Structure formats: structure tokens, C-alpha cells
Amino acid sequence: MTRDAARSRDERSRDERSRDERSRDERSRDERERLRETFTQVADLYDRARPRYPEPLFDDLTALTEAGPGSRVLEIGCGTGQATRPLAERGCAVVAVELGSRMASVARRNLAAFPLVEVVTASFEEWPAPDEPFDLVVCATAFHWLDPAVRMGRCADALRPGGALATVVTHHVAGGTEDFFARVQDCYERFDPATAPGLRLRPAAEIPYDDDGELERSGRFGPPVFRRHEWELSYSTAEYLDLLLTYSGHRALDPVAREGLLACIARLIDTRHGGRVTKRYLAELRVARRLP
């Protein structure tokens, strides 16, 4: 094979890989957008069923970022205001951007007592940020819904130099009614084809920190600082099913499969656990400063 022929073959191979990667990115983006839209279908249920974040998490957030009365805060994906309220209670002036119109409507209702909070219905990726920069950008349990191609850059652009980006991820970890969470996998394997066989919850200590190098690769932020908080909540059968119906993966299931899954879970809670289970959560706060 000549050198030119080999170069041509390599170029074709790179082009094919590039097309494959673009195709995967487009599929991933389409899937992400489809699942993001599921939340607005159940805004009131989401507001009622989703757990609130522990107050010590916000104590850590304000201590690490020096946010307080008068701080300009941008919140991305505020949902119905679960993280917005603790920021507003600490005197922050918050612009909360929410994609879902129904979610934003509930957030406005919940936050009506805070005149320094503005809820904007928009996609963060397309929202025209104001000229005046923010002191803090917060995104609680929503950063994974943002477009990875632009999220770091847009967050950095919205911040003043030295301002902070604070993200929160929430995990379901081992603990609580452990027998239920071991047995319930049989229901998922039966009704949800995406369930990995033998899936089991990990202890909080085994959950890796939310740091895949994206902050460093962006070149816009310094090294992150982490704080973690664990807590447990107890649910009746009906309350637990309501919670599941706020998760995008459950809502995206075929309706017949979803109905079968929920019925299977309800039987397990009622027959083996007296109609009540306890779930253990881990919330991880990550804070990084924008570089000059």
C-alpha cells in the first residue's frame, strides 16, 4: 500500500469515527431532551414527593462560596424550588432558570414570599445571560441534564472572576430497608429491560466523587472541594410509588411495563414490609471557583 493510500484510508477511518461520534452525541442529546421533558408532566407530584435537601448542605455551600445577603445567584434547573428556597432564606438574590413551564409555575408559587427571587422559564443552554455577572452559579441534581458541550463554558461566562460553581448530585445508597431494595431488583429485571442483572446498592463510602476531570479540562475553574451528607426518609407504599413516578426513567417506561413494575413493588412493600420502607440518600456538594 502506498503512503498516499494509507493516508487516505486513515482519513476515511477518522471521518467514519467522527460521524459515529456525532451520531452518538445526537442520539444522546435527543434522549436527554426527551427525558428532561418528562418532569414537567408531573410538576405538582414532583414538588410533593421529591425529598428536600438537608439544611447542613446549604450551610456548607454558603460557607464555601461566601454567599449570603445580597449575593447574586444563578440557579440552573430549579425544578419547583427545593434548592431555591434555602438560598432565598439566606438573603441571596436568585435568578432561577427552569426549562419546564409547569415546574417553573410551581416554583413561582412556592417562592412568592421572596421578592429577590426571579424564576425564568428557559433552556439554560439558550438563555441570554445578563451582562452583570453572578457571584454564584448553583445546579442541584440537574447538571447531568445540561449539554456537556457547553455547560462549563456557559457557567463560567455567567460568573465573575473568583465566583463559584456549586453542583449537587444525589445518590440512593445502601442502608434503610435493605431487604426490600435487594428483593425489588426482581421487579425491575422483570419489567424494565434496561435493568442490569444482579444490581445492588453501594454504600456511600464506595460512591466515587463527582469529578471526571471536566472542570479541569474546561480550563475555566480551579480544583473542586467536596462535602457529603447522608440521611434517611421513610415512605408508605403510596408515597414511595409517588416518588418513583417523579423519576424520568420510570416515566419513560412503556405504560404497561410501568404499571406492572409499580404493582410488583407495591405488593413487595405491603406483603413483606408492612406497608412502609426507608430509603437512604447521599447528597454530594461540589464547589469550584472560576479562574481569573
Q: What is the DSSP string of 212-268?
A: SSHHHHHTSB---EEEEEEEEEEEEHHHHHHHHTTSHHHHTS-HHHHHHHHHHHHHH
Residue 193's pLDDT is 87
pLDDT digits (tens, 9 = 90+) for 45-87: 999 999 999 999 999 999 999 999 999 999 999 999 999 999 9
pLDDT digits (tens, 9 = 90+) for 156-207: 999 999 999 999 999 999 999 999 999 999 999 999 988 998 889 999 999 9
Q: Residues 67, 92: contact at Cβ < 8 Å?
A: yes
CA pair distance 239, 236, nearest whole angstrom: 5
Residue 31's pLDDT is 60
- pLDDT above 70 as % of the chain: 86
pLDDT surpassing 80 at residue 6: no
The ranges assigned to domains in the chain are 38-289
pLDDT surpassing 70 at residue 18: no
The region of weakest confidence among 34-38, 40-44, 139-143 is 34-38
pLDDT surpassing 50 at residue 19: no
pLDDT digits (tens, 9 = 90+) for 109-140: 999 999 999 999 999 999 999 999 999 999 99
pLDDT digits (tens, 9 = 90+) for 231-258: 999 999 999 999 999 998 899 899 999 9
Residue 30's pLDDT is 65
CATH number listed for the domain at residues 38-289: 3.40.50.150
